[in-house]
Chain A
Amino acid sequence: MKKLLLGNEALAQGAIDAGISGVYAYPGTPSTEITEYIQRSKTAKELKIHSKWSVNEKTAMEAALGMSYAGKRAMTVMKHVGLNVAADVFMNMSVSGINGGLVVVVADDPSMHSSQNEQDSRYYGKFAMIPILEPSTQQECYEITKYAFELSESLGLPVLIRLVTRLSHSRAGIETGNRTPQKNLKLPSNPTQFQLIPMHARGRYKHLVDIQSDILETSENSYFNEFKKGPNTSIGIIASGIAYNYLMENFEGEDCPYPILKVSQYPIPKKPVKQLFNTCKKILVLEDGYPFIEEAISDFLGENRKVIGRLSGDIPRVGELNPDNIANALGFDVVINETVPKVVAGRPPELCVGCGHRDLFDAVNALGKEMGSQQVFGDIGCYALGVLKPYESINTLIDMGASITMAKGAADAGVHPSIAIIGDSTFTHSGMTGLLDAVIENTQITVIISDNSAIAMTGAQDSSASGRLISICKGLGVDEEHLKIITPLHKNLDENINLIRDEINYKGVSVIISQRPCVQLPKEKKDKLKELKKVTLN
């Protein structure tokens, strides 16, 4: 019988069946379930496949590269903005190349369901000059992952698989195939390959440039790119990844009359695109995310109106695709019988009932009123909901770790009080280095680590910070006199306000750890944390 799997899970099963020896990742919507599937898999456990969470995407990708260096297959997984964090190693490992197959999986979030932007990772793939795969169905998620490892090893390069939210988080019945055994330890045969000092890097980079034509050939011959003939050549359609599904939905099982190029492997295959250009009056490009293909095949001055899509306005420039906006582009009517009745109110997400962040915001807001100024630099996590009513406690939310460093820059500019609120896991992900900056100059900022001992927003995964925050802060040089712990509970409100006020008035760096486990944590985990707390306090 078929297995019912999310696109993410199908991809993970594909990786297990491709013989990976490890997955390295940091949780991030919509990518999280890939690693979680491998963590739960009995087969993966028996095969001793590494699957523990990494501290951030950069450490994850570097560890995956290390496993590849040792000759084994490895995968690294993240959300689109996570690739920004890992960009350093990402850009350089395409120059060094790989040893064991290495696949980078990035899940983009068009329409920003759970993200700050809708950046399109295909640009990163092109930037690094490596092959990109973009599955359109759950079954393809499985197949394409197995293929990605073969492709990676045959070209000696990392391969990028790009997903989008709707494929990551949609289920279908999947047929699985055979499993390839794991690779044996086998160190690189070329001793200079991974030594990217300029004299070696130049040679490696030249090699990367030289094999671009081979990479193009793999995509032009790819099983995953398909040209479908059609009798009506008034439009030729290029549909990439999930866009192909929305396109076909509009023909409800009938054959599409227009020629279609389905793209699931990049670089953009030139030959079939040329065929469309030669035979069709117009080219409609359908792609979820940025106009990546459209831009590449349109002319710079925009005088040749032959190519239409997001840039021409035929498809909305922002937001995700769906069957309806593609229907509009095809000139079909979308019949809507009902509108949303006026009585329906918006229902934005909110912090859980009993969440410790709530009590922390109560204290911070009380101080903001009292001091007449509330500059709170926020960070990525559940507590970002503190931007919204009823709290409206947070002024900024930019990227992982930015709370501390932005608070520092603002304090340097004369802002007081300058408060950073950051979660425990975000702190170990990207906050520690920024705190060191502040410690070095003893900048007058108040850093509140809202420690719920979990990566809560993505489903309460284990936080690397658990039980380590105090020693990390001490190690970074935070003055012990100004390293405090509070428990955010309503009964402690006055006490907490007083303590935070004192630290705000201190002319230097202070760190307040606001500690209460996430209400979403299962009881066993909460009990474990209590034990851990006893140990660390003694």
Chain B
Amino acid sequence: MKTNIILAGVGGQGILTIAAVLDTAALDCNLNIKQSEVHGMSQRGGAVQSHVRISDKEIFSDLIPQGKADMIISVEPMELLRYLPYLKEGGHLVTDSNPFVNITNYPEMDALYTEIKSQPNSILLDAKKIAKDLGNSRATNIVLLGAASALLPLTDESLKKAIQTLFERKGERIVNKNLEAFEKGKEVAAEIVS
């Protein structure tokens, strides 16, 4: 079993929190993990990505080869498409629908959505709104993680335990908000897929 996941977004959008949950859950399940991330100049509002690799066997490369990603999870719709060359045939896409516009030539939303919907296995959802409705718009990334969870090689229990561990120092309320966000994301994705 080997799962390759690309996390995409803009510097500061919190993709490393998703990565941390995946890493913690995988380690807890005694699986091997390699997870690359971006530090430095690109973090300032630029395109950022993280490669997460989970396997029960030895993992060699810290980077996912092109055409070998099982899944791309993105917190921003245009950033999702940037990494399509990494997606394997039949791979899955999960993305928030809200654009992060900090460039003057940001494309038309319709063109972006058409492109995303033309992909066979894509889940496009308004994760930001879901998180906001739950009273914690900062949990958008965890909504997306929930939406992707059915496709992950990790059990919901291990993912929820990891959320608990990672948010523990922020207090019980934040832990619960994030657990709710995870559940809601999962629920919405299931509706979209069916």
Contact call A336/B46, Cβ cutoff below 8 A = no
Q: How far is the CA of A218 from the CA of B59 in the complex (A)?
A: 29
Contact call B37/A171, Cβ cutoff below 8 A = yes
Chain B residues with CB below 8 A from A184, complex form: none
- 79-134 of chain B: CB within 8 A of chain A: 79, 81-82, 84-85, 87-89, 102-103, 105-108, 111-112, 115
CB contact under 8 A between A170 and B37, given known A323-B65, A327-B65, A345-B78: yes
Q: Does B41 contact A (CB under 8 A)?
A: yes
- Pick the contact of A166: B10, B32, B36, B105 (CB < 8 A): B36
Q: Does B11 contact A (CB under 8 A)?
A: yes
CB contact under 8 A between A245 and B35, given known A337-B87, A341-B81: no
- Pick the contact of A338: B38, B43, B84 (CB < 8 A): B84
Q: How far is the CB of B13 from chain A (nearest CB, A)?
A: 12
Q: How far is the CB of B95 from chain A (nearest CB, A)?
A: 13
For the complex of A and B, 10 pairs with smallest distance between CB atoms: A114-B40, A29-B40, A349-B46, A249-B61, A170-B62, A338-B84, A323-B65, A170-B36, A248-B60, A343-B107
Per DSSP, chain A at the interface is loop
Q: How far is the CB of A342 from chain B (nearest CB, A)?
A: 9
Chain A residues with CB below 8 A from B175, complex form: none
Q: How far is the CA of A324 from the CA of B33 in the complex (A)?
A: 20
Q: How far is the CB of B134 from chain A (nearest CB, A)?
A: 26
Q: How far is the CB of A473 from chain B (nearest CB, A)?
A: 28
| Interface size of A in residues (CB-CB distance below 8 Å) | 53
Q: How far is the CA of A146 from the CA of B45 in the complex (A)?
A: 37
Interface residue range, chain B: 35 or more
Q: Does B169 contact A (CB under 8 A)?
A: no
Contact call A347/B61, Cβ cutoff below 8 A = no
CB contact under 8 A between A347 and B81, given known A4-B33, A169-B38, A457-B40: no
Q: How far is the CA of A458 from the CA of B39 in the complex (A)?
A: 8
Chain B residues with CB below 8 A from A349, complex form: 11, 41-46
Contact call B60/A246, Cβ cutoff below 8 A = yes
- 198-223 of chain A: CB within 8 A of chain B: none
Chain B residues with CB below 8 A from A2, complex form: 27
- Pick the contact of B63: A322, A336, A337, A352 (CB < 8 A): A322
Q: Does A33 contact B (CB under 8 A)?
A: yes
Q: How far is the CB of B76 from chain A (nearest CB, A)?
A: 9
Q: How far is the CA of A346 from the CA of B67 in the complex (A)?
A: 21
Contact call A336/B66, Cβ cutoff below 8 A = yes
- Pick the contact of A347: B46, B66, B89 (CB < 8 A): B46
Contact call B33/A352, Cβ cutoff below 8 A = no
Q: How far is the CA of A390 from the CA of B43 in the complex (A)?
A: 18
- Pick the contact of B115: A173, A249, A341, A345 (CB < 8 A): A341
Chain A residues with CB below 8 A from B89, complex form: 337
Q: Does A167 contact B (CB under 8 A)?
A: yes
Closest residue of chain B to A247 (Cβ to Cβ) is: B60
Chain A residues with CB below 8 A from B111, complex form: 343
- 339-383 of chain A: CB within 8 A of chain B: 339-341, 343-352, 382
- 9-67 of chain B: CB within 8 A of chain A: 10-11, 23-24, 27, 32-47, 57-67
Chain B residues with CB below 8 A from A253, complex form: 57-58
Contact call A113/B45, Cβ cutoff below 8 A = no
CB contact under 8 A between A340 and B46, given known A114-B40, A345-B78: no
- Please give the residue numbers on chain B whose beta carbons come within 8 Å of chain A beta carbons, in ascending order: 10-11, 23-24, 27, 32-47, 57-67, 78-79, 81-82, 84-85, 87-89, 102-103, 105-108, 111-112, 115
Closest residue of chain B to A246 (Cβ to Cβ) is: B61
Contact call A344/B78, Cβ cutoff below 8 A = yes
Contact call B81/A169, Cβ cutoff below 8 A = no
- Pick the contact of B88: A32, A113, A337, A382 (CB < 8 A): A337
Q: How far is the CB of A407 from chain B (nearest CB, A)?
A: 24
Q: Does A1 contact B (CB under 8 A)?
A: yes
Contact call B40/A30, Cβ cutoff below 8 A = yes
Q: Does A16 contact B (CB under 8 A)?
A: no
Q: How far is the CA of A257 from the CA of B10 in the complex (A)?
A: 41
- Pick the contact of A30: B39, B44, B61, B62 (CB < 8 A): B39
CB contact under 8 A between A171 and B23, given known A338-B85, A344-B78, A345-B103: yes
Contact call B115/A172, Cβ cutoff below 8 A = no
- Pick the contact of A173: B33, B36, B61, B65 (CB < 8 A): B33
Q: How far is the CA of A248 from the CA of B63 in the complex (A)?
A: 12
Q: How far is the CB of A358 from chain B (nearest CB, A)?
A: 12
- Binary interface encoding of chain A residues 483-514 relative to chain B, with 1 for a CB under 8 A from any of its CBs, else 0: 00000000000000000000000000000000
CB contact under 8 A between A113 and B40, given known A173-B32, A337-B89, A344-B78: yes
- Pick the contact of A335: B32, B47, B63, B67 (CB < 8 A): B67
Contact call A113/B41, Cβ cutoff below 8 A = yes
Chain B residues with CB below 8 A from A352, complex form: 44-45
Q: How far is the CA of A238 from the CA of B161 in the complex (A)?
A: 43
Chain A residues with CB below 8 A from B61, complex form: 245-246, 248-249, 322-323
Chain A residues with CB below 8 A from B79, complex form: 347
Contact call A4/B24, Cβ cutoff below 8 A = yes
- Binary interface encoding of chain A residues 19-60 relative to chain B, with 1 for a CB under 8 A from any of its CBs, else 0: 000000000011011000000000000000000000000000
Chain B residues with CB below 8 A from A30, complex form: 39-40
CB contact under 8 A between A324 and B65, given known A114-B42, A349-B42, A350-B44: yes
Chain B residues with CB below 8 A from A246, complex form: 60-61, 63
- Binary interface encoding of chain A residues 248-285 relative to chain B, with 1 for a CB under 8 A from any of its CBs, else 0: 11100100000000000000000000000000000000
Q: How far is the CA of A144 from the CA of B44 in the complex (A)?
A: 33
Closest residue of chain A to B51 (Cβ to Cβ) is: A170
CB contact under 8 A between A324 and B66, given known A4-B33, A172-B33: yes
Contact call B35/A170, Cβ cutoff below 8 A = yes
Contact call B40/A4, Cβ cutoff below 8 A = no
Contact call A171/B35, Cβ cutoff below 8 A = yes
Closest residue of chain A to B46 (Cβ to Cβ) is: A349
Chain B residues with CB below 8 A from A348, complex form: 46
- Pick the contact of A345: B10, B32, B39, B106 (CB < 8 A): B106
